[in-house]
């Protein structure tokens, strides 16, 4: 038994379009890697932002593009810069050793805060249902009351 597939116009029309988009994505794959690397590295000229955010370091940007054109991977390029400047060149620290505190501390503080709020909001507020008044010991209270009644 032979199964016949129907040929539709949009299948034959969109095949070249899909090939075109595949070709364009391959062309821009290197630029995506370059952008990713530039966002992953702190600019060593002033240490105040990433290479992507600051345009103070064109030599480093050109060097990254050269590394990419040579076919080096992201990890190889990052290791080169870590060897040159140390781990402070990384925009996001590695989650190893003491650096793990950068990742764990905000989570712990958040959990402690949420726990505190939970227990604080859970405790009932003891609000008395009625106000109990006690007779006051104001001197001349009776006379003041009489005067006020006369004024009404």
Per DSSP, the three-state class of 147 is: helix
Distance in angstroms (rounded) separating the CA atoms of residues 79 and 117 = 44
Residue 34 covered by a domain: yes
Give the pLDDT confidence of 120-137 residue by residue, as tens digits.
888 777 776 676 666 667
Residue 148 covered by a domain: no
pLDDT < 50 positions in the chain: none
Domain count, the chain: 2
Pair 11, 56 in one domain: yes
What pLDDT, on a 0 to 100 scale, did the predictor assign at position 4?
Answer: 55
Give the pLDDT confidence of 106-121 residue by residue, as tens digits.
999 999 999 999 988 8
Domain that holds residue 101: 94-120
Pair 102, 82 in one domain: no
What pLDDT, on a 0 to 100 scale, did the predictor assign at position 10?
Answer: 53
> Which residue, 47, 91, 75, is CA-closest to 67?
75
Residue 147 covered by a domain: no
Distance in angstroms (rounded) separating the CA atoms of residues 9 and 104 = 56
Pair 57, 17 in one domain: yes
What pLDDT, on a 0 to 100 scale, did the predictor assign at position 135?
Answer: 65
């Amino acid at each position: 038994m032979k199964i016949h597939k129907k040929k539709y116009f949009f299948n034959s029309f969109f095949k070249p379009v899909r090939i075109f988009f595949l070709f364009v994505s391959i062309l821009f794959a290197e630029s995506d890697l370059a952008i990713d690397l530039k966002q992953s590295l702190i600019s060593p000229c002033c240490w105040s932002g990433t290479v992507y955010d600051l345009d103070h370091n064109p030599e480093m940007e050109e060097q990254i593009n050269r590394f990419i054109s040579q076919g080096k991977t992201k990890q190889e390029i990052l290791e080169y810069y870590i060897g040159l400047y140390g781990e402070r060149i990384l925009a996001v620290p590695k989650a190893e050793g003491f650096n793990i505190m950068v990742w764990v501390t905000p989570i712990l503080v958040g959990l402690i805060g949420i726990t505190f709020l939970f227990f604080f909001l859970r405790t009932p507020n003891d609000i008395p249902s009625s106000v109990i008044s006690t007779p006051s010991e104001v001197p001349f209270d009776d006379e003041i009351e009489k005067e006020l009644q006369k004024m009404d």
